[in-house]
Amino acid sequence: MNEEKPGMKTLIAEASLALFEQRGFTETSVQDICNELGVTKGTFYYYFDSKETLLMDIHEQYIVTLLEEQKGILEDDNLTYREKVRAVIYMLIRDIEKRGARGRVFFREMRHLNDGRKAKIVPLRNQFRLNIEQLVRAGVEAGAFRSEINPKLAAFALLGIANWSYQWFHPDGELSDREVADAFATILLEGIEPDPRDR
Amino acid sequence: MNEEKPGMKTLIAEASLALFEQRGFTETSVQDICNELGVTKGTFYYYFDSKETLLMDIHEQYIVTLLEEQKGILEDDNLTYREKVRAVIYMLIRDIEKRGARGRVFFREMRHLNDGRKAKIVPLRNQFRLNIEQLVRAGVEAGAFRSEINPKLAAFALLGIANWSYQWFHPDGELSDREVADAFATILLEGIEPDPRDR
DNA sequence: TGTAACATACCAACCAGTCAGTACACAGGA
DNA sequence: TCCTGTGTACTGACTGGTTGGTATGTTACA
Q: Residues 6 or more apart from B15 whose CB is under 8 A from it?
A: B33, B36, B37
A-chain residues near B168 (CB < 8 A): 156
Nearest to A84 by CA among A128, A132, A36, A51: A132
Query: Are A149 and A190 within 8 A, CB to CB?
Result: no
The angle, 0 to 180 degrees and rounded to 10, between the axes of the packed helices B81-109 and B51-74 is 180
Domains and CATH numbers, chain B: 1-48 (1.10.10.60), 52-198 (1.10.357.10)
B-chain residues near A132 (CB < 8 A): none
User: What are the pLDDT tens digits along chain A (199 aa)?
Assistant: 344 467 889 999 999 999 999 999 999 999 999 999 999 999 999 999 999 999 999 999 999 999 999 999 999 999 999 999 999 999 999 988 888 889 999 999 999 999 999 999 999 999 999 999 999 999 999 999 999 999 999 999 999 999 999 889 988 889 999 999 999 999 999 999 987 665 4
Query: Are B86 and B187 within 8 A, CB to CB?
Result: no
Q: Do B189 and A188 touch (CB under 8 A)?
A: no
Distance B46 CA to D7 C1' (A): 14
Question: If you measure CA to CA, which chain B residue comes closest to A25?
Answer: B26
Q: Do B164 and A168 touch (CB under 8 A)?
A: no
Q: Is the distance between the Cβ of A170 and the closest atom of strand C smaller than 7 Å?
A: no
- Whether chain A has a CB inside 8 Å of the CB on B5: the answer is no
Distance B9 CA to C14 C1' (A): 25
Query: How far is it, in rounded angstroms, from Cα B33 to Cα A198?
Result: 59
The model's pTM is 0.90
Q: How far is B84 from chain A (nearest CA, A)?
A: 13
Nucleotides in chain D near protein beta carbons (<7 Å): 9-14, 18-25
Query: What interface predicted TM-score (ipTM) does this complex get?
Result: 0.87
Distance A23 CA to D8 C1' (A): 40
Of B residues 39-98, those with CB within 7 angstroms of nucleic strand D are 39-43, 46
Backbone angles phi, psi at B78, to 5 degrees: -85, -10
Q: What is the pLDDT of residues B81-140, one digit of tens each?
A: 999 999 999 999 998 888 889 999 999 999 999 999 999 999 999 999 999 999 999 999
